[in-house]
Structure 1
Amino acid sequence: MTISVDGRTTRWARHNATRRRELVEAALRAIRHHGHSVGMDDIAAEAGTSKTVYYRHFGDRNGLYEAVVESVHAFIWGNLSDVWNQRRSPRDLVEHLADAYLRVVEVDGEIYRFVTARPGGTADPVLGITNRIGDQVSATLADWLRDKGLDPSPANTWGHGLVGFIWAVADRWILTDLRRPRPDIVTFIGDLFTPAFDAQTPTPHHTME
């Protein structure tokens, strides 16, 4: 059986997707301008429309919040592409990951605050992106362990633990109004984990002639 697709339905769906993206982008601009506690009136004004239009596309403020979170997650993941594109030592991996994430916090602090201050009734905004990144870090660490001839079993625990640690550091960093420079924080993280990774590297055995 052949199922025909109404061209008007396809065009309408495409129009709705484009309009939703434009409304989310306007919401991001409003958050940057007015701060993370921005109201719907200011968001609608930034988009040059009314709250009714937002509610029609997103249902309520929670629906808009979830759309903003999805957009931010896509941006964070895109910024991490360079982290995965080449094999790195564990320290290099940790520092690149920390730097990429903290850079987002530094540049878009109000967006970060908006995302982490989730309204009631919405899913944890951090869980989805941290799980995805944790899986990737775990896979990278597993490759490193195999290259060293070591058991890759700890990689999953290490990978997700590292990601959770970096997220916790970011939360604390923003509470201190980014008092320490970002490069310092990245170095502190690298200094903490490097000895642990170094301890996993087999020590060459030397024989006496």
Structure 2
Amino acid sequence: MDAAPDTAVAPPPGAPARADGRRTRWAEHRRARREELVTAALRAITRRGAGIGMDDLAAEAGTSKTVLYRHFSDKEDLYLAVASRVNRRIVRELRSAVEAAGSPREGLAAIVTTYLRLVEKDPEVYRFVVSHPFLDRPAQRDPVQHLTGVVADETATAITAHLRAAGSTSAATDVLAHGVVAMIRAAADRWISTPDRPDADAVARDLTDLAWGGLATFLDSTRAAPQEDR
């Protein structure tokens, strides 16, 4: 069960200035407790599956819906907090993988492999995030679209830097990167829902080969363009 601090009362409005320290500690406690509940929710989703409801989620987290709603305004707020945590982890690990790459192809392979490994590591959490189970209006507040955009931006930055170093002067790399990421996500969604699916590394190799076939052609064309203009 939850510890007593969850029943604490917030300082009243208009309290003296000397209460600022208490308000700060209260705000920090609430922030930390909210993060703990997100971690507990992720564990519950992993154990019970992406279709878990609020009652079961609270029970698996060792708390109650009353406590959850004390820290999250509604089920959408909880869902968005979980999705935000997942998004931050994906972006952090993608950045780390790309930074270690030494060429455009290695950068692309790092992005594809890292993304698929994260999906494979916890498929129920991935399904939970992409299926928007607690969103009443997913089209208006879809964190998955935000993640896709962030991942595409990271991919574009990495690929553009490598292509520039290889001599490309084209402005189309950002558009191509977003197209590559859309392909990766569509493939990941299909792959994770396929029975007897191959492992992540095998799929990553094939996806990298497929995407690189187009990017390599693009790189060759941008290298050749200045010569054709002479």
- Return the TM-score normalized by structure 2: 0.80
Q: Equivalents in 1 of 2:101, 2:56: separation in Å? A: 45
Residues 1:30 and 2:44 are matched in the alignment: yes
Structure 2: 5+ residue stretches without partners? 1-16, 225-230
Q: Equivalents in 2 of 1:81, 1:27: separation in Å? A: 26
Q: Equivalents in 2 of 1:76, 1:104: separation in Å? A: 7
Deviation of 1:64 (Å) = 0.7
Q: Equivalents in 1 of 2:75, 2:32: separation in Å? A: 19
| Cross-structure match for 2:227 | none
| Cross-structure match for 2:136 | 120
| Cross-structure match for 1:9 | 23
Range moving further from structure 2, 140-149 or 61-70: 140-149
Q: 1:131 to 1:24 in 2, by over 3 A?
A: same
The one-letter code matched in structure 2 to 1:175 is: S
Residues 1:39 and 2:53 are matched in the alignment: yes
Deviation of 1:178 (Å) = 5.6
Q: 1:198 to 1:121 in 2, by over 3 A?
A: closer
SS state at 1:80 partner:
helix
| Cross-structure match for 2:9 | none
Native 8 Å contact 1:94 1:162 kept in 2: no
Q: Deviations over 1:145-189 (max 9, x none)?
A: 322322230111111111111111100101213612222211111
Q: Deviations over 1:40-79 (max 9, x none)?
A: 2222223322101111211221111111101111111222
Residues 1:173 and 2:191 are matched in the alignment: yes
Deviation of 1:100 (Å) = 0.7
Aligned residue pairs total 200
| Cross-structure match for 1:163 | 181
Range moving further from structure 2, 25-34 or 193-202: 193-202
Select the residue among 155, 161, 176 that pairs with 1:137: 155
Native 8 Å contact 1:91 1:193 kept in 2: no
Q: Equivalents in 2 of 1:165, 1:67: separation in Å? A: 26
The one-letter code matched in structure 1 to 2:176 is: W
Residues 1:53 and 2:71 are matched in the alignment: no
**Poorly superposed stretches of 4+, deviation over 3 Å:** none
Native 8 Å contact 1:94 1:190 kept in 2: yes
The one-letter code matched in structure 2 to 1:186 is: A
| Cross-structure match for 2:171 | 153
Q: Equivalents in 2 of 1:140, 1:27: separation in Å? A: 33
Q: Equivalents in 2 of 1:161, 1:198: separation in Å? A: 15
Range moving further from structure 2, 190-199 or 9-18: 190-199
Native 8 Å contact 1:137 1:159 kept in 2: yes
Residues 1:21 and 2:35 are matched in the alignment: yes
Residues 1:79 and 2:107 are matched in the alignment: no
Q: Equivalents in 1 of 2:24, 2:161: separation in Å? A: 43
Q: Percent identity?
A: 41
Q: Equivalents in 2 of 1:58, 1:175: separation in Å? A: 30
Q: Deviations over 1:76-98 (max 9, x none)?
A: 12221322324532221121111
Name the Cα RMSD after superposition. 1.8
Q: Equivalents in 1 of 2:39, 2:118: separation in Å? A: 16
SS state at 2:145 partner:
helix
